[in-house]
Amino acid sequence: MRLELIENLLVANRGEIALRVFRTCRDSGIGTVAVYSDADAGSPHVVAADAAVRLPGSAPADTYLRGDLIVKAATEAGADAVHPGYGFLSENAAFARAVLDAGLTWVGPGPEAIETMGSKVESKRRMAEAGVPVLPELDPDRVTEADLPVLVKASAGGGGRGMRIVRSLDGLAEAVEGAGAEAASAFGDPTVFCERYLETGRHIEVQVLADTHGTVWAVGERECSIQRRHQKVVEEAPSPLVDPAMRERLFTAARQAASAIGYVGAGTVEFLATADGEFFFLEMNTRLQVEHPVTECVTGLDLVALQLSVAEGAPLPPEPPQWTGHAIEVRLYAEDPTAGWRPQSGTLHAFAVPGVAAEFAVPARYGLRLDSGVTGGSVVGVHYDPMLAKVIAWGPDRAATARTLASALARARIHGVVTNRDLLVNVLRHPAFLAGETDTAFLGRHGLDTLAAPLAGERAVRLSALAAALAEAAHNRASATVLGGLPAGWRNVPSAPQRKAYAAGGAEYEVRYRHTRSGLRAEGHPEVALVAAHPDRVVLEVAGVRRTFDVGRYPGLVAVDSPLGPVSLTPLPRFTDPDAAVAAGSLLAPMPGTVVRVAVSAGDRVRAGEPLLWLEAMKMEHRIAAPADGVVTDLPVTAGQQVEQGAVLAVVSGSEERE
């Protein structure tokens, strides 16, 4: 057997997955080539690669979706193989073909397998033929009341995009149209189909790996039931639902699915399972999955190394390895679960997870793994998926693993961007989760009021605000150009305490304090004594118990971390510059984005709730509606215009003013 050893691998992707593949390359002695958009020019994956090639522009369509440019980059940088990662072009048969046509090794299944599985309609047919259980497809035109609810899905879809749940027949047409439009924009293929929607199911998937010599492994299952907007949030292996008998049936079905299409490489066969162990084929992902680390942890395999090995033509051992322990992965997203999961952007000033035992690799023993595409200082932009990192815990059993992961997340320093961290911790500590009751309706059933509640309670926020003020005072003293050595806020004739104010969670926290001869005197905190105050760390004694607060100070943000919970505070300025004030009735951009469409003109009379314009950000359209009846008195934006967060999009004045 002659192997075509890979010498130099281009990863046609960005962020953590590019770094994940590079890690294996480095361990195997394979050279690395990155591609990067303008927005990613300073990203860690670019820095980590041996060579990097620019893809001009920032929008995915101009950059990471430009197969032609990527193949050219591979040729120019001397790469002999291309790994697509996940997302972007990973399931694009034309790209796979272009890579192969350029004489490069394609790390993935053949284009035909991608094509077959890429069409949900076609794949379901093939799977049914192969004896894999499937949900029957419904014709959108013939859906009746009895079929409801139904799921409209993009045939070429993935990751929840181009997907709609329809619960009433009159919403069906709009859903089909919307899903089609979204699919067309995201995948370049507007085809959609319908199937019965299981309100509460469990998402169970099987990792398969097949070589070119006929060996097909079902490596293990993962459960990824906890999802928001059809995107996975928490993933684990093994699944708490699956017993050995069900596992046997699942693995058999997965192997049948892979074998039926002559699959080669790593792939995932996804099933929707019911609580009593019945399951249906959903789709097959013909690539590495985001959640592959949980399988790696429990099996000890390096799935990327195996992908490369298979691509080089090497055979797999006859049987996959046994499992050890339990692994749980969470996806840390820059998003605000309490604001409709709205993606967040901005500078991630600090990013550190305590106790990480390995990055992009299986820890030597039970512990934490971090696969992160960001570091402190990274800018989270509007162009790409808002996932910051995956944090994976591997432990002897499910409960211990969940505890390790929850604790690490709660203690992580994540400054500058709102994330779903609190939600993840609440899920991992939720009794229902710990009892293994994790179906796809988990978030809806337990409610965001509970699950997205901040880890830091009211008392923690108040103490954190005090710590923030004292850290700020220490900074002010340390950086003072004159009289820096004198006691903070010293007065020979005291009249008023020092005052600092912060906003957090819609409330204002005013801190009033004085450093007296007998120590700190902070209004509303009679039980608090100051042990030490530094610009980045404050130690308080609260009712006899010492608490340490780590304080990160950034423009417009003070982030306080303590075992009481992370708190983000917005310092309120002492003075407001009148020029900075905004006219009443102004509608501000909720995030940076592009104005895609404007429905009104200046002078138009509008009704409350009437859409004025649409803003596209993070691949989603955000409708900006009139807050009240009135007249559009100012409309400073036009379609196609890029706007910053907080920019005035339109001003609507009350109609009575005009009459």
Give the number of other CB atoms < 10 A from CB of residue 242. 24
Nearer to another protein, 229 or 475 (CB): 475
Report the nearest approach of another protein to the CB of residue 552 (Å).
19
* Pairwise CA distance, residues 248 & 63, whole Å: 42
Question: Residue 477 interacts with another protein (CB under 8 A)?
Answer: yes
Rounded to 5 degrees, φ, ψ at 401 are: -65, -45
Tokens of 623: 């409708």
Q: At which residue do the structure tokens 């339990």 appear?
A: 326
CA atoms within 13 A on the CB side of 268: 24
User: Which one-letter amino acid corresponds to residue 652?
Assistant: V
Nearer to another protein, 365 or 517 (CB): 517
* Pairwise CA distance, residues 324 & 301, whole Å: 11
Residues that bind another protein (rule: CB under 8 A) add up to a total of 28
Report the nearest approach of another protein to the CB of residue 518 (Å).
10
Question: Residue 556 interacts with another protein (CB under 8 A)?
Answer: no
Report the nearest approach of another protein to the CB of residue 293 (Å).
46
Question: Residue 486 interacts with another protein (CB under 8 A)?
Answer: yes
Question: Residue 495 interacts with another protein (CB under 8 A)?
Answer: yes
Report the nearest approach of another protein to the CB of residue 198 (Å).
58
Question: Residue 584 interacts with another protein (CB under 8 A)?
Answer: no
Question: Residue 383 interacts with another protein (CB under 8 A)?
Answer: no
Helices within 111-265 (DSSP H only): 111-118, 120-130, 172-187, 244-260
Question: Residue 555 interacts with another protein (CB under 8 A)?
Answer: no
Question: Residue 553 interacts with another protein (CB under 8 A)?
Answer: no
Report the nearest approach of another protein to the CB of residue 479 (Å).
9
User: Which one-letter amino acid corresponds to residue 61?
Assistant: A
Nearer to another protein, 576 or 638 (CB): 576
Question: Residue 142 interacts with another protein (CB under 8 A)?
Answer: no
Spell out a b/e string for 326-355, using b for 16 or more CB atoms within 10 Å of the CB, else e.
Answer: bbbbbbbbbbbbbeebbbbbbbbbbbebee
SS3 call for 383: coil
User: Which one-letter amino acid corresponds to residue 403?
Assistant: R
Question: Residue 500 interacts with another protein (CB under 8 A)?
Answer: yes
Question: Residue 493 interacts with another protein (CB under 8 A)?
Answer: yes
Give the number of other CB atoms < 10 A from CB of residue 583. 10
Among positions 578, 580, 656, 659, the unique one binding another protein when judged by CB under 8 A? 578
Q: How far is CA 96 from CA 104, 107, 285, in A?
A: 10, 9, 15
Residues of this chain, 194-233, that bind another protein according to CB under 8 A = none
Give Cα 89 distance to the centre of its chain. Answer: 19
Among positions 47, 169, 435, 480, the unique one binding another protein when judged by CB under 8 A? 480
Question: Residue 364 interacts with another protein (CB under 8 A)?
Answer: no
Report the nearest approach of another protein to the CB of residue 470 (Å).
10
Nearer to another protein, 499 or 623 (CB): 499
- Give the range of 291-299, 302-310, 428-436, 488-496 binding another protein by CB under 8 A: 488-496
Q: With residue 617 as reference, give the H or E element that holds it.
A: strand 611-617
Give Cα 405 distance to the centre of its chain. Answer: 17
Residues 6+ apart with CB under 8 A from 437: none
Report the nearest approach of another protein to the CB of residue 619 (Å).
42
Nearer to another protein, 476 or 641 (CB): 476
Residues of this chain, 28-67, that bind another protein according to CB under 8 A = none
Q: With residue 134 as reference, give the H or E element that holds it.
A: none
* Pairwise CA distance, residues 89 & 531, whole Å: 55
Nearer to another protein, 327 or 511 (CB): 511
Question: Residue 492 interacts with another protein (CB under 8 A)?
Answer: yes
Report the nearest approach of another protein to the CB of residue 474 (Å).
8
Among positions 496, 545, 580, 584, the unique one binding another protein when judged by CB under 8 A? 496
Contact 186, 161 (CB under 8 A): yes
Question: Residue 572 interacts with another protein (CB under 8 A)?
Answer: no
Question: Residue 173 interacts with another protein (CB under 8 A)?
Answer: no
Question: Residue 580 interacts with another protein (CB under 8 A)?
Answer: no
- Give the range of 123-131, 409-417, 481-489, 523-531 binding another protein by CB under 8 A: 481-489
* Pairwise CA distance, residues 331 & 329, whole Å: 7
| Strand boundaries in 396-483, DSSP class E | 413-415
Among positions 1, 364, 482, 545, the unique one binding another protein when judged by CB under 8 A? 482
Report the nearest approach of another protein to the CB of residue 593 (Å).
33
Among positions 322, 481, 601, 638, the unique one binding another protein when judged by CB under 8 A? 481
* Pairwise CA distance, residues 322 & 412, whole Å: 32
Among positions 575, 601, 638, 659, the unique one binding another protein when judged by CB under 8 A? 575
- Give the range of 36-44, 96-104, 359-367, 473-481 binding another protein by CB under 8 A: 473-481
Question: Residue 577 interacts with another protein (CB under 8 A)?
Answer: yes
- Give the range of 222-230, 279-287, 489-497, 519-527 binding another protein by CB under 8 A: 489-497
Contact 616, 593 (CB under 8 A): yes
Report the nearest approach of another protein to the CB of residue 581 (Å).
9
Nearer to another protein, 1 or 493 (CB): 493
Report the nearest approach of another protein to the CB of residue 633 (Å).
23
**Strand 387-395 vs strand 367-372: parallel, antiparallel, or unpaired?**
antiparallel
Report the nearest approach of another protein to the CB of residue 82 (Å).
56
- Give the range of 330-338, 358-366, 441-449, 472-480 binding another protein by CB under 8 A: 472-480
CA atoms within 13 A on the CB side of 566: 26
- Give the range of 297-305, 364-372, 493-501, 605-613 binding another protein by CB under 8 A: 493-501
Q: How far is CA 497 from CA 475, 488, 490, 511, in A?
A: 18, 11, 10, 9
Bond preceding residue 238 cis, omega within 30 of 0: yes
Print the binding letters for residues 504-523 with another protein: x by CB under 8 A, - otherwise: -------------x------
Length of the chain: 659
Give the number of other CB atoms < 10 A from CB of residue 248. 12
* Nearest alpha carbon to residue 111 among 241, 252, 264, 3: 264
- The 3-class SS string of 524-590 reads CCCCEEEEEEECCEEEEEECCEEEEEEEEEECCEEEEECCCCCEEEEEECCCCCHHHCCCCCEEECC
Question: Residue 476 interacts with another protein (CB under 8 A)?
Answer: yes
| Strand boundaries in 353-401, DSSP class E | 356-359, 367-372, 378-380, 387-395
Among positions 213, 459, 491, 623, the unique one binding another protein when judged by CB under 8 A? 491
Query: Which spans of this chain sit near another protein (rule: CB under 8 A)?
Result: 472-473, 476-477, 480-483, 485-493, 495-496, 498-500, 517, 574-578
